[in-house]
Homo-oligomer: A and B are copies of this chain.
Amino acid sequence: MALMNENYLNLAGSYLFAEINRKVGAYLKSNPGADIIRLGIGDVTQPLAPAVVEAMVSASREMGSKDGFHGYGPEQGYEFLRSAIAEYDYRKRGIAVADDEIFVSDGSKSDVANFQELFSGDCSVAITDPVYPVYLDTNIMAGRSGVMNNGRYEKIVYLKCTAENGFIPAIPDCHVDMIYLCSPNNPTGTVLNREQLTRWVEYALAEKAVILFDSAYEAYIADADLPRSIYEIPGAEKVAVEFRSFSKTAGFTGTRCAYTVIPHTVMVSDGNGGLHELNQLWLRRQTTKFNGVPYVIQRAAAAVYSDEGRRQIKEQVAYYMENAAIIRNGLESMGWELYGGKNAPYIWLKLPEGELSMNFFDRLLTKAGVVGTPGVGFGPCGEGCFRLTAFGERNRTIEAIERIKLNM
């Protein structure tokens, strides 16, 4: 019989999230009609901006007309979108990125997941703990993890993030080839500052490693002195690939558009020491395995950069950040220890010493009727922590905090 990719056998089951669903279901069953507020999932709730909707409607009509119809587009995205991205998100902010260093895709999840294909199966991988599970799971599927021993994959280098280091990963004391960094961070809401990010770039330059930099939450950075792109750090253009998304910036979680920046100067080597551009390898990967983002969706994404679009999107981000402030201020006033929520849409609670995150989940659900995410779902170092998100509706977010204040 055809043999499967046995690396899949190394994947850990996602028992935790199944367990969460079971618990919520059981609670609803024994409390019929209970009004649960969900601050667990990282999904937006506000409608698409009017400029985006109008662009999508207009492009749909175009597609129904003889002259406006678009068939296959370029796999890497239409020039109108690539140039708007490079211009507004980089060049106007003083960062030199060429249009052909932008690759438009259907999502940062896809890009972050597929990008590892360009590397040898023998490359070593560093991830933070806690972590967005996609970085880890896709490397397990590709055979870079080895098997699990005592909750750890033997070949993965884990960068522990705990209250002791303020949930900021330390530089590893060994060589690694591929480093996944996420800033603003999911789940901890922490942001790498210029100095911290500079140390990572210096490490990558010294070790000839590649940083896979996920900045899907970049729009939530308010402090002017925090880097929004890794390319603000000198030398990063030689070692870093940056993943960005319209999902959280413009509410595109169900609309699906993202992009990846790959400077021509980021190289990998073949076994004979020959150098190859990751940009060209990804172009080859995408032209072979992908057929581009729908025309109407690319028009919708381009509308984000119109005068109207930029203003509307800014309001949306401000709305969620006001939610974050409500959560943060409310919980801080109770004396709770928390991280994030200032330049990130995630609020990361450090639970009282000794409390397990699943226990806090139960307390929060049964006492306040609020659902969040137990930190242990993001890795062993997430134990004792808990994630809330700012993506809810305003009234529900306010009510959640009132309930927590009243009942917890």
In the bound complex, CA of A273 to CA of B291 (Å): 36
A43 contacts B72, CB within 8 Å?
yes
In the bound complex, CA of A117 to CA of B256 (Å): 23
In the bound complex, CA of A2 to CA of B275 (Å): 10
CB distance from A291 to the nearest CB of B (A): 5
CB distance from A377 to the nearest CB of B (A): 15
Chain B residues closer than 8 Å to A41, beta-carbon distance? 72
Q: Which of B113, B177, B289 is within 8 Å of A2, CB to CB?
A: B177
Given contacts A60-B53, A65-B47, A210 and B2 within 8 Å (CB-CB): yes
List residues of A (235-265) whose CB comes within 8 Å of B's CBs: 251, 253-256
Asked if A352 CB lies within 8 Å of chain B CBs, one says no
In the bound complex, CA of A119 to CA of B268 (Å): 26
Interface-lining segment among A104-112, A166-174, A181-189: A104-112
In the bound complex, CA of A358 to CA of B76 (Å): 28
Q: Which of B1, B71, B255 is within 8 Å of A295, CB to CB?
A: B255
CB distance from A357 to the nearest CB of B (A): 22
Interface residue ranges, A against B (CB under 8 Å): 1-6, 8-9, 11, 41, 43-50, 52-53, 56-57, 60-61, 63-66, 68-73, 106-107, 109-110, 113-114, 117-123, 133-134, 137-138, 141, 177-178, 208-210, 251, 253-256, 267-271, 275-276, 281, 284-285, 288-297
Chain B residues closer than 8 Å to A44, beta-carbon distance? 71
Chain B residues closer than 8 Å to A43, beta-carbon distance? 71-72
B45 contacts A267, CB within 8 Å?
no
Chain B residues closer than 8 Å to A46, beta-carbon distance? 69
Chain B residues closer than 8 Å to A134, beta-carbon distance? 288-289
In the bound complex, CA of A281 to CA of B5 (Å): 9
A2 contacts B123, CB within 8 Å?
yes
20 sampled A-B residue pairs with Cβ under 8 A: A1-B269, A2-B123, A3-B120, A3-B177, A3-B270, A4-B270, A5-B117, A5-B120, A9-B270, A11-B284, A41-B72, A47-B63, A47-B68, A50-B64, A69-B254, A72-B254, A73-B254, A113-B290, A254-B294, A296-B297
CB distance from A99 to the nearest CB of B (A): 20
CB distance from A271 to the nearest CB of B (A): 6
B255 contacts A63, CB within 8 Å?
yes
In the bound complex, CA of A178 to CA of B118 (Å): 23
B57 contacts A60, CB within 8 Å?
yes
Chain B residues closer than 8 Å to A275, beta-carbon distance? 1
A253 contacts B71, CB within 8 Å?
yes
| Shortest Cβ-Cβ A-B pairs, 9 listed | A53-B64, A113-B289, A3-B120, A1-B208, A2-B177, A43-B71, A56-B60, A70-B254, A4-B268
Q: Which of B1, B64, B110, B254 is within 8 Å of A63, CB to CB?
A: B254
Most chain B beta-carbon neighbours within 10 Å: one of A46, A120, A254: A254
A110 contacts B5, CB within 8 Å?
no
In the bound complex, CA of A134 to CA of B284 (Å): 12
In the bound complex, CA of A4 to CA of B43 (Å): 34
Given contacts A63-B53, A120-B6, A268-B2, A294 and B297 within 8 Å (CB-CB): yes
Q: Which of B253, B285, B292, B295 is within 8 Å of A141, CB to CB?
A: B285
In the bound complex, CA of A63 to CA of B46 (Å): 9
B122 contacts A3, CB within 8 Å?
yes
Given contacts A2-B210, A210-B2, A291 and B256 within 8 Å (CB-CB): yes
In the bound complex, CA of A5 to CA of B134 (Å): 20
B178 contacts A119, CB within 8 Å?
no
Q: Which of B2, B53, B107, B210 is within 8 Å of A119, CB to CB?
A: B2
Most chain B beta-carbon neighbours within 10 Å: one of A69, A178, A285, A292: A69
Chain B residues closer than 8 Å to A52, beta-carbon distance? 64
Most chain B beta-carbon neighbours within 10 Å: one of A57, A61, A119, A293: A57
